[in-house]
Amino acid sequence: MSNKLDNFPVSSKGDRRRRYNWDEWRDGEVHELVNPDDFEVPVESMRAMVYRYASNAGLSVRTAKTRAGLAIQFINDEPEKLVDIEW
């Protein structure tokens, strides 16, 4: 038999939507996300999350794997902010 709860339980891991600094990262600047400081999943998984976030937000993004993690740059309506990502 099931139990009825008054409130939905809060996850001990927190809310993933708030785990990442999307508002800060989508400013058009190049950000290097350092593993495990900024994310705790494999780089390929984080890259997929970045592209999914961009798609859901109606933005474009470019990424590059770095020694420390992942470089990302959300592309908004300010093309003068585009810079080359050094390898």
Asked if residue 34 has pLDDT above 90, the reply is yes
Entry pTM: 0.70
- How sure is the predictor about 8, in pLDDT bands with cuts at 50, 70 and 90? confident
- How sure is the predictor about 56, in pLDDT bands with cuts at 50, 70 and 90? very high
Asked if residue 66 has pLDDT above 90, the reply is yes
DSSP state of 81: G
Output the pLDDT for position 35. Answer: 92
| C-alpha–C-alpha distance, residues 32 and 6, integer Å | 42
79/36: higher pLDDT: 36
